[in-house]
Amino acid sequence: MLLHHAPHASPTPSARRLVALAYLLGAGTMLGLSMNLARGAADVGVTPFALLTWACVGATAVLGALAAWRRTLPPVRRATVVYAAVAGLIGVVGPNLIFYAAIPHVTVGVVALAQALPPLLTYVAALALRMERFDRVRAAGVACALGGAAVLAARQVSAPDAPLGWLAAVVAGPVLIAAGNVYRTRRWPPGCAAEGLAPAALGAATVMLVGASALPSLSLAVPVDRVEPALLIVAQAGCLSLMYLLFFALQRAGGPVVVSLLGPVGAVVAVPVALLALAEPAPRGLAPAAALVAVGVALVAHGGLVAARREAAARAG
């Protein structure tokens, strides 16, 4: 079983790191594919809102059925309802709707690089909330990656036809993701399994999206005269199902800073697919910005590993 361990099992720290790495790589791959699927929505006449809503409906059904079969659905009580609602809003609806809508205007490359910022923002938030200790290596990583983001932003804003509104919206996405990373760890309902909380959050997000469809400017309509829109929605629902199943498991296993590395892994998948498969032009300044962000994320991750080893050694001593 992927996400369930026997009560007597006691995996070693090395085994736990390998499991967390597997969750991270799997969820990041699904994220990268999801961004490229969102890029193709306009080509088949599906709006970002309709794509996200129907994909959430499908993912909720799949993960909800899995959790019901495994008997891991969370109990219906105030704490879990509030948790699902907040996690669904800031971890599913907010960032995904922003990115889905922005991709046609700013390219997959820009959105993918923005996805690399949550580790840095999450680390800063964890420091402020005293969930993490200050580390010079990690701080240097934050500065380096933010420098990369500044390079990309400066190149994009300087373009004569720069979509400034969409670029500003893309910046809001990582802020929501970072807030969600911290919230899910601090407010994780006791005794609840990751595979039960994933459909709960997606279900809450689905309720919000379906409710929002009552607004005149938002519609769930999709073309029914051809098969491509349905195939796109099914593929996106599959990506979201696996991504959020692994995502919540990673959150439980690794904490907020580790789970925030999902964005950089997704970017590694998304950008080559967009450039090669979709023939998307590379954003201005992508190469130097990506290099700085990659170095920054590597420093943040390395600093976390060193800190974890020090804490383990201190406990052992």
Instruction: Give me the number of domains the chain comprises.
Output: 1
Is 145 domain-assigned?
A: no
In a domain, 270, yes or no: yes
- Segment 287-306, tens digit of pLDDT: 777 777 778 767 766 766 66
Distance CA 193, CA 174 (A): 26
Angle at 121 between CA 116 and CA 123, to 5 degrees: 110
Contact 84, 204 (CB under 8 A): yes
H-helix or E-strand spanning residue 74: none
pTM here?
Answer: 0.77
**Is residue 260 situated within a structural domain?**
yes
Q: Report if residue 210 sits inside a domain.
A: yes
Residue 309 lies in a domain: no
Cα distance between residue 130 and residue 187, in whole Å: 15
Give dist(CA 286, CA 111) in Å, integer: 11
Residue 7 lies inside a defined structural domain of this protein: no
| CA distance linking residue 192 with residue 194, whole number of Å | 7
Q: Is residue 109 part of a domain?
A: yes
Q: Judge whether 209 lies within some domain.
A: yes
pLDDT tens per residue across span 143-183: 777 777 677 666 666 666 667 778 778 878 888 988 888 89
Q: Which of the 8 DSSP states describes residue 43?
A: G
316 burial (CB, 10 Å; 0-12 / 13-18 / 19+) is exposed
Give the mean pLDDT of 248-275.
Answer: 74
Integer Cα distance of 206 and 192 in angstroms: 21
Task: Give the span between the Cα atoms of 144 and 52, in whole angstroms.
Answer: 33
Note whether 249 and 195 are within 8 A (CB): yes
Domain that holds residue 177: 16-119+162-281
Assign 231 a pLDDT band (cuts: 50, 70, 90).
very high
Residue type, 17: R
Q: Are 200 and 86 in contact (CB under 8 A)?
A: no
Q: Which pLDDT belongs to residue 161?
A: 65
- The pLDDT value recorded for residue 12 is 62
